[in-house]
Amino acid sequence: MIDKSKTLQTTISLINSKVKFDGWTEGNKPVSIDYIPPVGDSDGYTSLELLLLSLSSCLGTALLLFLRRMNKTIGEFRIEASGDRRQEHPTCFSKITLEIHLQASDTTVAEVEKVIKMAEETYCPVWALLKGNVEIETNVVIAT
Amino acid sequence: MIDKSKTLQTTISLINSKVKFDGWTEGNKPVSIDYIPPVGDSDGYTSLELLLLSLSSCLGTALLLFLRRMNKTIGEFRIEASGDRRQEHPTCFSKITLEIHLQASDTTVAEVEKVIKMAEETYCPVWALLKGNVEIETNVVIAT
């Protein structure tokens, strides 16, 4: 078994005659990955959607850790991510917007924004890998 | 319905008292996302594994498209990705290795490497988003 704090491994395997893949890591259910027509059949996540899930969950994990360390009580927690694509190649994101929704009666938007800043600078590995290549905007919405 | 060639949207939602999320886009089965102990319970993909799946599938899609345009007949196609993590924050990848396995009797390693170069430079949006922030090595293995 590999030490995931040091190395991570994944596999994708083509499963049709177009561009549909199963992707997986040991112990997890395969993820269906596909591209939009006409190249693919939209029968799975696109690569860039997986990137949004990667960034959202990485930031979400860092935020939950730090807010809990500050003794904040977090109820519901959700991140809606949206990425605007360039219309020329490479058709990557020109901008990513992350809307962070959390339920917390003892936390202010300013406190969450401070933790986001720490994540951006140091504690969110996926953000570190995207730095300088795409604008990332965050919005915080707190429900009590 | 959104036009995925212009905008992509995803949601993650916390589903336990640690850092386990369901992540999804409309029309796809949710992906379980979790971090390794003690922070999480390893009950899902880690954010960095999703990033490897994102990069692998993006490169895989570009390779299949271009090789088929060159009238190559591709049978089995698989990419094994491996990422070495930094041991200080941010604990992102210092290096990603992609091992591309394909079955093709009419294709040389040099031809695949040429297409990889085109993907790196122009046609792989996820690679474009990581450029300059991590070393990405590719190895091509062809079975006939």
A52: burial class by Cβ within 10 Å (0-12, 13-18, 19+)?
buried
The nearest CA of chain A is from the CA of B56 a distance in Å of 7
Provide the residue type at A90 as one letter.
Answer: P
Give me the residue from A49, A84, A125 closest to B25, CB to CB.
A49
pTM (2 d.p.): 0.98
- How many residue pairs from chains A and B have C-beta atoms closer than 8 A? 247
Under a CB-based contact definition with an 8 Å cutoff, are residues B92 and B85 in contact?
Answer: yes
pLDDT confidence tier of residue B36, bands split at 50, 70 and 90 = very high
Residue range B57-82, pLDDT digits in tens: 999 999 999 999 999 999 999 999 99
Nearest CA in chain B to A68: B18
Write down the pLDDT at residue B28. Answer: 96
Nearest CA in chain A to B6: A85
Give me the residue from B52, B77, B87 closest to A8, CB to CB.
B52
Give me the residue from B44, B46, B77 closest to A8, CB to CB.
B46
B9: burial class by Cβ within 10 Å (0-12, 13-18, 19+)?
middle
Instruction: Give the tokens for residue A41.
Output: 């059949």
